[in-house]
Amino acid sequence: MKVKIFDEEHESDLEKSINTFLADNEVEVVDIKFQTAVSVFSEEQIFCFSAMIIYY
């Protein structure tokens, strides 16, 4: 069993990264864990979209 972690600033970038990984690798996905985090720096909101794929 292996894991692959993705971390992007935009949801669409996360989708693209995951879809590319799955298209380029012949894997059997066991589970996908998704998380969103937000922080504030000065007056700017910073988002972090991450996912962990557990696969064989």
pLDDT of residue 37: 97
List, for residues 3-35, the tens digit of each pLDDT value: 999 999 999 999 999 999 999 999 999 999 999
Residue 49's domain spans which residues?
Answer: 2-55
Total-model pTM: 0.86
**Nearest C-alpha neighbor of 11 from the set 21, 22, 2, 19:** 19
Sheet holding 2-8, edge to edge: 2-8, 44-55, 29-41
Number of domains the chain is built from: 1
pLDDT of residue 28: 98
